[in-house]
Amino acid sequence: MKIKTLADLKKIKAEVQEKIKLREQGENAGNIVQVKVAMATCGIASGAKETMSFIIEELDFRGIDAVVTQTGCMGYCYAEPTIEVTLPGKDPVVYGYVDREKARQIIDEYIVKGELVDGIIPVNYKTIDE
Amino acid sequence: MKELSLHILDIVQNSISAESNLIEIVVDESVKNDKYSIAITDNGKGMDNETLQQVTNPFFTSRTTRKVGIGISLLKQNAEQAGGTFTINSKVGEGTTVKAVFQFSNIDRPIMGDIAGTMTLLIGANPNIRFIYNHNTNLGSFEFDTNEVIEELEGIPISHPDIIKALKELINENLEMIEAKLT
């Protein structure tokens, strides 16, 4: 079914509601993974939009409870697209040059298994408050 | 930037940093007047005159993480290269309007690109901001307001991936119907 109007949106509401309920009762509830995608001029020009859409779709597809948001430039313009990943109870980690392939690897290995992946930007990194 | 939608994504980030809670994007395609214009209006904190004068300077930014700020300069350059104009107006405490006009038929006018993806990305990441998107062509107009969507959803978060996916489809379907045709 194609969604064309707001009325069409209403039709998928029940389905989404059911999904939300299932997630809330799931064993992972409360363990939310946080991903921030740097979305400034440098990031956008390097493809941060595709990276972000991919991460949102992939995490949803795998049923991983995550909040994917945007942040400003973290100062690593040379390594865009960059993302910051925070696993529950852990310090944030920043990865550079994150295209679809890299993003898939980060999800596979870091987010799912907790193993660090190559490509971390290794400076004393602090999350920026914007 | 290869697509106008990426410029929009970029400029809207400025509106978000300016603490806006209402961002309006209006695209007017006029084959008749040979114009393709994009206007982005926010109700953020705005800029004083001094800042406004500096804003198209690529070596000016309010950021502290780096010393250049080229988002606005790039859009200005792109518009002017495509036979168009660029204006920016702002008032402290009221908000800012950025307007870029391109010559419709100019070969250097970038394509709009994935505007539905841009809009839904912005909506998903900023569910507390009201986005209004308005697109007019010679075949009709499309109006989209996240307030109306939120009302329709009755409590389901607008940022849910399934809703985002549906909204993307909704925007694409509607834009396809009014796609400007050169007659």
Tens digit of pLDDT per residue, chain B (183 long)? 899 999 999 999 999 999 999 999 999 999 999 999 999 999 999 999 999 999 988 888 888 777 778 899 999 999 999 999 999 999 999 999 999 999 999 999 999 999 999 999 999 999 999 999 999 999 999 999 999 999 999 889 999 999 999 999 999 999 999 987 665
Buried b (16+ CB within 10 A) or exposed e, B67-94: ebbbbbbbbbebbeebbbebebebeeee
When pLDDT is averaged across residues A33-48 and rounded to a whole number, the result is 95
For chain A, the average pLDDT equals: 88
B128 touches chain A (CB under 8 A): no
Q: Is residue B182 part of a domain?
A: no
B63 and A13 within 8 Å at the Cβ level: the answer is: no
Q: What are the DSSP E strand ranges found in B60-129?
A: 85-91, 95-103
- Residues in chain A within 8 Å Cβ distance of B153: 9, 13
Tokens of A6: 């707001």
Tokens of B147: 């307030």
**What was the pLDDT predicted at B101?**
98
B173 and A2 within 8 Å at the Cβ level: the answer is: yes
Domain residue limits, chain A: 29-111
A130 touches chain B (CB under 8 A): yes
Higher per-residue confidence, B181 vs A14: A14
B63 touches chain A (CB under 8 A): yes
CA–CA distance, B59 with A33 (Å, rounded to integer): 36
Which secondary structure element, helix H or strand E, spans residue B23, and what is its range?
Answer: strand B22-30
Domain range for B117 is 4-177
Q: Is the pLDDT confidence value at A26 over 80?
A: no
End-to-end distance of chain B based on CA atoms, in angstroms?
A: 29
pLDDT band, very low/low/confident/very high, at A130 (cuts 50, 70, 90): low
* CA distances for B155 relative to A14, B145, B150, angstroms: 12, 16, 7
Which secondary structure element, helix H or strand E, spans residue B137, and what is its range?
Answer: strand B130-137
A40 touches chain B (CB under 8 A): yes
B166 and A9 within 8 Å at the Cβ level: the answer is: yes
Q: Is residue B100 part of a domain?
A: yes
**What was the pLDDT predicted at A21?**
82
**What was the pLDDT predicted at A2?**
81
- Out of A18-32, A35-49, B3-17, which region has the weakest mean confidence (pLDDT)? A18-32
A64 touches chain B (CB under 8 A): no
CA–CA distance, B167 with B164 (Å, rounded to integer): 5
A45 and B6 within 8 Å at the Cβ level: the answer is: yes
The answer for B11, left when phi > 0, alpha when psi is -120 to 50, beta otherwise, is alpha
Residue reference for tokens 């493809």: A47
Backbone Cα Rg of chain B: 17
Q: Which fold has domain A29-111?
A: Glutaredoxin (3.40.30)
Residue reference for tokens 């978060």: B157
Return the bridge partners of B40, or none.
B25, B98
Q: Is the pLDDT confidence value at A29 over 60?
A: no
- Number of domains observed in the structure of chain B: 1
**What was the pLDDT predicted at A24?**
74
Per-residue pLDDT of A76-127, as tens digits, reads 999 999 999 999 989 899 999 999 999 999 999 999 999 999 889 876 556 6
Q: What is the CATH number of the domain that holds B24?
A: 3.30.565.10
Question: From the DSSP assignment, how many helices (H) and strands (E) are in chain B?
Answer: 6, 6
Which secondary structure element, helix H or strand E, spans residue B29, and what is its range?
Answer: strand B22-30
B93 touches chain A (CB under 8 A): no
End-to-end distance of chain A based on CA atoms, in angstroms?
A: 40
Whole-complex ipTM:
0.87
| pTM, two decimal places | 0.91
β-pairing, B130-137 vs B22-30, is parallel
CB A69 within 8 A of CB B123: no
Q: Is residue B60 part of a domain?
A: yes
Interface A-B: count of C-beta contacts within 8 A: 97
Residue reference for tokens 């994007």: B25
Burial of A65 (0-12, 13-18, 19+ CB in 10 A): middle
